[in-house]
Structure 1
Amino acid sequence: MTALTLENPVFVTYVIAAALLVLKVMAQGWMTVHRMMKVRAGWASPEDLQKGFLNTAPDPSQLDVNEYVDRSRRMHRNDLENIPAFWAAGLLFVAIGPSVWLAHVLMYGFVAARLAHFWAYTTKQSHEIRATFYTVGSLIVIYMACHVLWVAIT
């Protein structure tokens, strides 16, 4: 059996986790757009002030930082700083043939950590709570990368 086939339960675990995280990244972008349209503020670029179907009454203040929109933008940036590392480390992890149990714990654990981080950020929990979820996810990716290195060099 090759590692990158749906006959491999570790790869299936990766595929499910990776697909959920793709949806998370894309949904966060749409959440930001939704918030911008809802408050008619938090635009990112000067050309966004051009009059059009979606912005019938442009105003320079629309380019000002809007905390409601910017919070979503920061969550999106955080996803883009963390999730691609999981995609890479996770695929390498599949290649070394870990146990299904370990793959489940690590990969679904990372998805859970990112969803918990989203919850903490969205509900304005303290930095310590948000950082805890970030740390769990980060340590999972670091563990997977180190495990791959260990197997590859021994």
Structure 2
Amino acid sequence: MLDLMQDEVFRAFSTYALVVILKTMIMAPLTAFYRFKRGSFANEEDVAFKSAEERKKLLRPNPDVERVRRCHLNDLENVVPFVLVGLFYALSGPQLSTALLHFRIFAGCRIFHTISYIGAFPQPCRALSFFAGVGATVSMAYHVLSKVFVL
């Protein structure tokens, strides 16, 4: 592992992978924050000490809470493939400048996607950031496949 950390591409990948993983991890406490702020809970046990009437009110979905949850789900659907594909990509010996471009595009797109999703920016802000991030991951996957498959 120590030898890998000497490789500039692998260090860059590790940095950007950790950035997007930590951003994804922040979404769970953010969801909880919105649940408490909006008074919208998902489970009976979360409101067990409230009266029956209060429980009914607190167990209703809230659009803001659902927006944060969907953003978190979208992160999980995109960050996991990025980390896996990015690992193979980093180990495939790409040029540092090209690797940095892929990693930066993906990380920047995910951060902007979260801001535009939670901030309810008008489309196509969110869609463009989503597709650019997916494009970076697909481009890395193509690079890896082109190195391992000889047709």
Tell me which amino acid in the other structure corresponds to 2:18: A
CA gap of 1:115–1:46, structure 2 versus 1, over 3 A, is same
Number of residue pairs aligned between Structure 1 and Structure 2:
148
Preserved CA contact (<8 Å) 2:85 2:140? yes
1:100 aligned onto 2:96? yes
Output the CA distance in 1 between the equivalents of 2:144 and 2:115: 30
Other-structure match for 2:60: 64
Q: Which runs of 5+ in 2 are unaligned?
A: none
What's the CA shift for 1:132? Answer: 0.4
Output the CA distance in 2 between the equivalents of 1:128 and 1:65: 26
Tell me which amino acid in the other structure corresponds to 1:148: V
Q: Secondary structure at the match of 2:5?
A: coil
Other-structure match for 2:16: 17
What TM-score results when the alignment is normalised by the length of structure 1?
0.89
Preserved CA contact (<8 Å) 1:4 1:95? no
Preserved CA contact (<8 Å) 2:48 2:55? no
Preserved CA contact (<8 Å) 1:45 1:63? yes
Preserved CA contact (<8 Å) 1:49 1:60? no
What TM-score results when the alignment is normalised by the length of structure 2?
0.91
Sequence identity of aligned pairs in percent? 28
What's the CA shift for 1:44? Answer: 1.8
Other-structure match for 2:48: 50
Deviation track 1:86-110 (CA, whole Å, cap 9, x = no partner) reads 0000000011110000110001110
What's the CA shift for 1:45? Answer: 2.2
Tell me which amino acid in the other structure corresponds to 1:112: G
Other-structure match for 1:39: 38
What's the CA shift for 1:3? Answer: 9.9
Other-structure match for 1:132: 128
